[in-house]
Structure 1
Amino acid sequence: MQPKLSIITIVYNNVKDIERTMLSVLNQSYPNIEYILIDGASTDGTKDIIYRYKDRLAQFISEKDKGIYDAMNKGLSLATGDYLLFMNSGDEIYSTDTVREVFASAPGADIYYGETEMYDEDWHSLGQRRHEAPQTFDWKSFKYGMSISHQAIYIKRDLASPYDLQYKYSADIDWIIKVAKKASSIVNTHTYVAKYLVGGISKQKHMESLKERFHIFTKYYGLLPNLINHFSIAVNLARFYFKHHRTND
């Protein structure tokens, strides 16, 4: 029996990218997908595009929400699949066979994850994320930064709780860590599984996002270890940009 995957897309006023995201889901070769689309009452023509595919959606809501994670919680409450995947507007599943390949990589895992390719706003590839997906992953793996993209992780639905709405920009990190603490089987698919559009809300509100991340990491890892880990993050970041700068010179 092929597991059922609930894919949730949230969108607000993104007429430029929504169809590309939707088609990356709707064109999957894997047959057992429930596609849920949550729109925040868009006014720019986004809903007109969504309506073109409405008969292929399991659920579609268009109404005002209290932010990105409130919209995600609406999607979670509607999901009936064995697994969850969030593929937000602007991002894509990597290829038409990706979902099939993920579930073929190992049977019955609690979490599947893979690598992410980054894209700019004109959809030109920027290559792999600076944080490569770790060879092995558990709830402690985020201590040096978010090493797996939200779009690149498939999670068993019965392990997932609602997003904590006290966090406006980094609730996804808190959510994944909570799930990973419960998981007993975590599988690295060793393949690219997602394409990510750079420049989401956590980038636009970068300082606020960093503060939230620090709070979340302190909650799970402790203050002193978190301070030490952040020093390591800063050193590694400096090395990365120095190397990148030298390469481009």
Structure 2
Amino acid sequence: MTSTRFSIITPNYNGERFLEQTLQSVISQTGSTIELEYIVIDGGSTDGSQEILQYYQENIAHTVIEPDTGPANAINKGLQQATGDVIAWLNADDLYYPRTLERVAQALQARPDAAFCFGRCPIINEQGQEIRSGITRCKEFFYPFSSRFTYQCINYLSQPALFFRRQAVEQAGLLPEDMVAAWDYDFILRLWHSGDAVQVAGSPLAAFRWHEESISGQNFQVQFKEEYLSVKKDAGSFSLQTLFHFFVRWGIVGSYSAMAQIRKKQQG
């Protein structure tokens, strides 16, 4: 297998709690066929994040520490610096599993027509234990039917386990910074215009950490509204995909709201 250069971007702001585990999961991916350009964009953290970054500075190609307007703005700064053949971002509370980049490189080399690839991505809690496995299985149900049409109907891809070809990123453009929570979904919708997505079969590539302070934990109603508006823009207001997404949106919001009420009762 020929060598592949990866640019991985980690946006961080006061993410000391999980940051070191995230950094280690990325740094450990290097190998004989994997060249890693690791870019960390810190929004001026006031916790212990900068001390952690200092400790790992030899393993980080570019570290930017300056105020930003949010994660989309931070990731855009990283995208503008990235020089890799394959680009991705991993938030400061998520993680990669061993050999993830090697497996991604193999999948993309086998499918030169694919614009990006995806894989399995369980949801974990603060302690790293898998939770909400039903949601994960529901997303994985759509993997065999993966297409731009399917993705317009329902967001079944988990961002930490997505990897994009450089050319597709350049064609899609930067992330929208005027969105609260669905800027990644909007961006991925645009990636589909550059080609298909290929699945990396087998064990999970990454883990998404859900906690009360995470974006999806705080803003899920806004997130699904923004996703619906993105589909209207991409597929058309009166398309079948937009209609289907409308009903999916309210079903998911209802389920998440019910789970939130259950957590409040348990905590109370």
8 Å CA contact retained: 1:12, 1:39: yes
Q: Does 1:131 align with 2:136?
A: no
Partner Cα separation in structure 2 for residue 220 and residue 19 of structure 1 = 37
Partner Cα separation in structure 2 for residue 158 and residue 105 of structure 1 = 17
Give the drift of 1:219: 0.9
Higher mean C-alpha displacement, 157-166 vs 74-83: 157-166
Q: Which has the higher helix share?
A: 2
Q: Which has the higher strand share?
A: 1
Q: Which residue of 1 aligns with 2:89?
A: 86
Give the drift of 1:98: 1.4
**In the TM superposition, what whole-angstrom CA distance separates every residue of 1:137-178 from its partner, at most 9, and x where no partner exists?**
332232332111111111011211111122221111110110
Q: Does 1:144 align with 2:153?
A: yes
Give the match's secondary structure for 1:131. helix
After TM superposition, list the pairs within 5 Å mapping 1:56-67 onto structure 2.
Answer: 56-67=59-70
Residues 171 and 239 of structure 1: CA distance in aligned 2, closer, same or farther (over 3 Å): closer
Q: Which residue of 2 aligns with 1:3?
A: 4
Residues 215 and 59 of structure 1: CA distance in aligned 2, closer, same or farther (over 3 Å): same
**In the TM superposition, what whole-angstrom CA distance separates every residue of 1:103-122 from its partner, at most 9, and x where no partner exists?**
12351342111110110122
Q: Which of 185, 189, 193 pairs up with 1:177?
A: 189
Q: Which of 47, 54, 57 pairs up with 1:54?
A: 57
Q: Which of 104, 116, 119 pairs up with 1:111?
A: 116
**Aligned-partner residue type, residue 201 of structure 1:** I
Give the match's secondary structure for 1:18. helix
8 Å CA contact retained: 1:112, 1:154: yes
Cα RMSD over matched residues? 2.4
Q: Which of 170, 174, 182 pairs up with 1:162?
A: 174
Partner Cα separation in structure 1 for residue 158 and residue 176 of structure 2 = 18
With normalisation by structure 1, the TM-score equals: 0.88
Between the two proteins, the alignment pairs up a number of residues equal to: 240
Residues 152 and 233 of structure 1: CA distance in aligned 2, closer, same or farther (over 3 Å): same
Q: Which residue of 2 aligns with 1:247?
A: none
8 Å CA contact retained: 2:43, 2:66: yes
Give the drift of 1:186: 2.6
**In the TM superposition, what whole-angstrom CA distance separates every residue of 1:37-68 from its partner, at most 9, and x where no partner exists?**
01110001111011101011110001100111
| Structure 2, unpaired ranges of 5+ | 259-268
Give the match's secondary structure for 1:4. strand
**Aligned-partner residue type, residue 187 of structure 1:** V
**In the TM superposition, what whole-angstrom CA distance separates every residue of 1:182-204 from its partner, at most 9, and x where no partner exists?**
12x53111131111101421331
Partner Cα separation in structure 2 for residue 148 and residue 222 of structure 1 = 21
8 Å CA contact retained: 1:18, 1:46: yes
Give the match's secondary structure for 1:227. helix
Q: Which residue of 2 aligns with 1:122?
A: 127
Partner Cα separation in structure 2 for residue 57 and residue 83 of structure 1 = 17
Residues 229 and 186 of structure 1: CA distance in aligned 2, closer, same or farther (over 3 Å): closer
Partner Cα separation in structure 2 for residue 79 and residue 18 of structure 1 = 21
Q: Give aligned-pair identity as a percent.
A: 26
Partner Cα separation in structure 2 for residue 233 and residue 41 of structure 1 = 35
Q: Which residue of 1 aligns with 2:232?
A: 218
Q: Does 1:26 align with 2:27?
A: yes
Q: Which residue of 1 aligns with 2:217?
A: 203
With normalisation by structure 2, the TM-score equals: 0.82
Give the drift of 1:238: 7.7
